[in-house]
Amino acid sequence: MAGVAPSAPAIGAGRAGRSAVPFLPQGISLRGLLWQAGLLVAVVALGWWLVGNAERNMAARGLSFGFGFLDRSAGIPIGEHMIPYTPADTYARALTVGFLNTLRVAIVGILLCTVLGVALGLARLSSNPLLRALTGGYIEVIRNTPLVLQLVFWHALMLQLPSVRQALNPLPGVFLSQRGVKIPGLMAEPALFWMMGALAAGALGWWLLLRRERARQVATGQRRPTVLPGLALLLGLPALSMAAIGAPRVEWPELAGFNFEGGLALSPEFFALLVGLVVYTSAFVAEIVRSGIQAVHKGQSEAAAALGLTQGQKMRLVILPQALRVIIPPMTSQYLNLTKNSSLAVVIGYPDLVSISNTSINQTGQAIEVISIFMAVYLALSLVTSLLMNLYNRAVALKER
Amino acid sequence: MSATLAPAGPTFAELARGFLRACFSGPLNIAITLACLALLVAVVPPLLRWAVLDATWSGNAAACREAGGACWAFVREKFWFSIFGLYPYEERWRPGTMIAILVAMVLASCQRRFWNRWLMLAWLVAAPAMLVLMAGGVFGLPAVATRQWGGLTITGIIAVYGLALGYPLAIMLALGRRSELPLVRWFSTAIIECVRGVPLISLLFMAAIMLPLFLPEGVTLDRLARVLVAYTLFTAAYMAEVVRGGLQAMPRGQYEAADALGLSYAKKMRLVILPQALAITIPSQVNTFIGLFKDTTLVVVIGVFDFFTTLRAALGDPNWLGFPTEAYVFAATVYFVLCFAMSRYSQRLETTFRPGQR
């Protein structure tokens, strides 16, 4: 690839098209056309050469290009799987398991790093100098050390925890040991689904209420309180569901013999990867939040105060909507970074997509196919994330009137 | 800035009073201050005891275990190993000299008054010279395979050579992405987006596993060279986006003025646009480079022994088992010092290069 791009810069696309030939449409120069034709020929020739080499090399190694291996039994033992999986399953299924593992750590990581990052960013702007200095030092240390180092550190820390029998128990129901983290889980039964449904309905109701009140305010200038009715919807509906069908039961982890039973188990690898990604990314998110809020002109804050808005109203109605415009685009790239960085799981042995792909390549030798698969997956993930964030960005962007 | 001209700053007592007032104004602030103090009290004394009071600075592993604190003796023992890796002991003066040249060149490149074509020429001479020094095989220097290179030397080589090779490519890609020729634009955009859309790890895997398949039969590329191919491409794609930001920030008048003077595309870019576009993006370039520098640690996945991986390998020494924390703290400190220095440098440049103040 490196050999192709150099022809790009010297391209002469004179706007005037001095060397324009009579039969060419206006604005298209012969020189530009020649450059592009040259580039095309170079790319095609390079591609031809590479493909030819690859064919010869693969033939020499007794391999043939194709995705047929995906249907063969993989024989890769995977400790963590969100869908049923045994080593007898196919490569396609093993890679799917890896993909889901990547997705799991990325989604949880994005949520947590946003929360932690916003908190750190606000702490960095606190009026308390001690808090400001502590947060600043912490952020600098995290930002200026490599993520690989941090991941290995967290993993080593997890492995230094006591054995299962002497598991640390910092909070009721939470156990930390060499085998990972155990937390209480909700049992998947109808009561849980009903409650989740009620929660979603409550959130939707609040949103509709807000919309109606905003329309009313635009039309009449009056605004009725929305916080209390909203909270009543959000909490009341699940409470009703619990009263009608029964509360979802919580499953507490309990020590039974040499291991825990019940509850949700997070492996040391997953936990180390999650903590590492969240801590690392949140430091960057904090800086983005801080600079976003500082980017809002001071006059805005003073004007809000002059209008008699309370501190909370000022933040919610004046500062944040403007800060979000500055915050969203760099935030998108941090989310993408987190997703891509989750591939570092291979360093500490969490079975993510890259790690399983790596094993598959070693077993089958189908390097080109496997690498294309996971590169395509990451590209798709990147595109979907940017698409979602762009939609959100459009919602908060400056509406020019 | 003589002391007599400077306005009298607040005295120490005034500063302290202001600090205390800010810490204890209102109940919320008092609560926050107390929480911070509690955190400091909980963390700092044990840390100090571990790192300084109970630490062992020289001796062997038994002495370390005896004292119970941090075992800096381990770091001391492995220090030169972490710099040179497995490079033959009696030849260590070669990577040592290389690092000295590299540091001198980098420090010189940070000075604005040296930013001219002589510096470029010096790099063009120094870069191959350093590689020859490391690889040997000529001028009576015994050849040393890249497999034996390691430690901070490799980290420096990957970061600096990756940047040196990637930077021109980045400028080409950025110009290509802004080109008026659709084919050139699509091609550059595709390369930039594809490289930025995938993790560096996958590029490294690609270079390590896939690249040999695409080379003609009989041609093999050294492992370090393959790492450099991937890292250069990665550097180029990220730098290209920074440079593109600078190109877009140029006022339209600059392009039009260059056109009005009748400059060709190459001259317009070389003499008018690029000098300004590159200058205003230098702080972001440094910031991007900090990220790229930290990413050199990723070469661990294809078995190249950079600084951090070398230190981790040192953990396996049977005479020094059980001191991973010390090794990680040492590695973190080295990376932190380097990256923090770079970020301070970029902040200083930011004040010099703020648009409209040149």
A322-333 pLDDT, tens digit per residue, is 888 888 878 888
Contact (CB<8Å) B265/A383: no
Which of A14, A149, A361 has the CB atom closest to B265's CB atom? A14
Q: Name the maximum alpha-carbon separation found in chain A.
A: 89
Q: What is the mean pLDDT of residues B242-248?
A: 85
B172, B190 contact by CB (below 8 A): no
Q: Which of B265, B272, B259 has the alpha carbon at shortest distance from B180?
A: B265
Residue A40 predicted with pLDDT over 60: yes
Report the percentage of chain B scoring pLDDT > 90.
Answer: 4
Beta bridge partner(s), residue A260: A255
pLDDT for res B2: 45
- Considering just the CA atoms, what is the radius of gyration of chain B in Å? 25
Domain at B144-352: CATH architecture: Orthogonal Bundle (1.10)
A3 to chain B: nearest residue by CA? Answer: B169
Q: Does B123 touch chain A (CB under 8 A)?
A: no
Contact (CB<8Å) B191/A5: yes
Read off the amino acid at residue A222: Q
Contact (CB<8Å) A53/B179: no
Neighbours of A36 (CB within 10 A): 20
Contact (CB<8Å) A148/B300: yes
Average pLDDT across chain B, whole number:
81
Where residue A306 falls among pLDDT bands split at 50, 70, 90?
very high
Contact (CB<8Å) A10/B266: yes
Q: How far apart are CA B19 and CA A127, in angstroms?
A: 11
Burial class (CB within 10 angstroms; exposed 0-12, middle 13-18, buried 19+) of B153: buried
What token pair was written down for B4? 């007599």
What token pair was written down for B343? 């970020």
Angle between helices A147-159 and B307-314 (to 10 degrees): 20
Burial class (CB within 10 angstroms; exposed 0-12, middle 13-18, buried 19+) of A373: buried
pLDDT for res B247: 85
What token pair was written down for A197? 């449904």
pLDDT for res B236: 92
Q: How far apart are CA B335 and CA B323, in angstroms?
A: 19
Q: What is the mean pLDDT of residues B140-151?
A: 75
> Can you tell me which residue has the tokens 């590492």?
A276
Classify residue A169 by its DSSP letter: E
Which of B173, B180, B206 has the CB atom closest to A8's CB atom? B173
Q: What is the mean pLDDT of residues A21-36?
A: 73
Neighbours of A29 (CB within 10 A): 21
pLDDT digits (tens, 9 = 90+) for A4-26: 444 334 444 444 444 445 566 66
* Total residue length of chain B: 358
CA distance A45 to chain B (A): 14
Q: How far apart are CA A179 and CA A197, in angstroms?
A: 34
Where residue A147 falls among pLDDT bands split at 50, 70, 90?
very high
pLDDT for res B6: 55
pLDDT for res B153: 86
Q: How far apart are CA A135 and CA A125, in angstroms?
A: 9
- HSE of B313 in the Cβ direction (CA atoms, 13 Å)? 18
pLDDT for res B124: 82
What token pair was written down for B111? 């000075």
More confident residue, B337 or A391: B337
Q: What is the mean pLDDT of residues A185-199?
A: 79
Which residues in chain A are contacts of B260 at CB distance < 8 A?
Answer: none
Q: How far apart are CA B15 and CA B20, in angstroms?
A: 9
Interface of B with A in 60-119 (CB under 8 A): none
Q: What is the mean pLDDT of residues B240-257?
A: 86
What token pair was written down for A227? 């916080």
Read off the amino acid at residue B299: V
Q: What is the mean pLDDT of residues B37-62?
A: 81
Angle between helices A91-124 and A353-364 (to 10 degrees): 150
Contact (CB<8Å) B197/A382: yes
Residue A346 predicted with pLDDT over 60: yes
Which residues in chain A are contacts of B206 at CB distance < 8 A?
Answer: 371, 375
Q: How far apart are CA A323 and CA A281, in angstroms?
A: 19
Q: What is the mean pLDDT of residues A48-74?
A: 78
CA distance A168 to chain B (A): 19
Which of B210, B212, B336 has the CB atom closest to A145's CB atom? B336
Angle between helices A367-396 and A320-341 (to 10 degrees): 170
Residue B145 predicted with pLDDT over 80: no
Q: Which of B327, B280, B236, B184 has the alpha carbon at shortest distance from A156?
A: B327
What token pair was written down for B281? 């993006």
Contact (CB<8Å) A152/B312: yes
Between A327-331, B8-12, B223-227, the lowest mean confidence (pLDDT) is in B8-12
Which residues in chain A are contacts of B184 at CB distance < 8 A?
Answer: 8, 11, 35-36, 39
CA distance B91 to chain A (A): 29
Interface of B with A in 194-223 (CB under 8 A): 194, 196-202, 205-206, 209-210, 212-217
Which of A58, A126, A146 has the CB atom closest to B308's CB atom? A146
Between A23-32, A144-153, B183-192, B194-203, the lowest mean confidence (pLDDT) is in A23-32
B233 to chain A: nearest residue by CA? Answer: A2
| Domain regions of chain A by residue span | 5-60, 91-145+268-396, 191-241
| Domain regions of chain B by residue span | 92-138, 144-352
pLDDT for res A20: 46
Pairs of CB atoms within 8 A across A/B: 194
User: Which SS3 state, helix, strand or coil, does residue B349 take?
Assistant: helix
Q: What is the mean pLDDT of residues B240-261?
A: 86
Mutation to test the A interface, candidates B175, B213, B243, most A Cβ within 10 Å: B213
What token pair was written down for A74? 């993989």
A147, A137 contact by CB (below 8 A): no
pLDDT for res A258: 64
Q: What is the mean pLDDT of residues B253-267?
A: 88
Average pLDDT across chain A, whole number:
80
Contact (CB<8Å) B328/A156: yes
Q: How far apart are CA B162 and CA B204, in angstroms?
A: 13
More confident residue, B90 or B33: B33
Domain at A91-145+268-396: CATH architecture: Orthogonal Bundle (1.10)
Q: Over the range A80-118, which residues count as b (16 or more CB within 10 Å of their CB) and which as e?
A: bbeeebeeebebebbbbbbbbbbbbbbeebbebbbebbb
Which residues in chain B are contacts of A38 at CB distance < 8 A?
Answer: none
pLDDT digits (tens, 9 = 90+) for B153-170: 888 888 888 888 898 899
Annotate B209-263 with DSSP letters as a single string. Answer: IIHHHHSPTT----HHHHHHHHHHHHHHHHHHHHHHHHHHHS-HHHHHHHHHTT-
- HSE of B323 in the Cβ direction (CA atoms, 13 Å)? 34
Contact (CB<8Å) B215/A15: no
CA distance A329 to chain B (A): 14
Which residues in chain A are contacts of B175 at CB distance < 8 A?
Answer: 8-9, 11
Q: Does B262 touch chain A (CB under 8 A)?
A: no
More confident residue, A184 or A137: A137
pLDDT for res A326: 81
pLDDT digits (tens, 9 = 90+) for A224-282: 777 788 888 888 887 888 787 777 777 777 776 666 666 677 888 888 999 999 999 99
Which of B199, B269, B331 has the CB atom closest to A340's CB atom? B199
Contact (CB<8Å) B264/A367: no
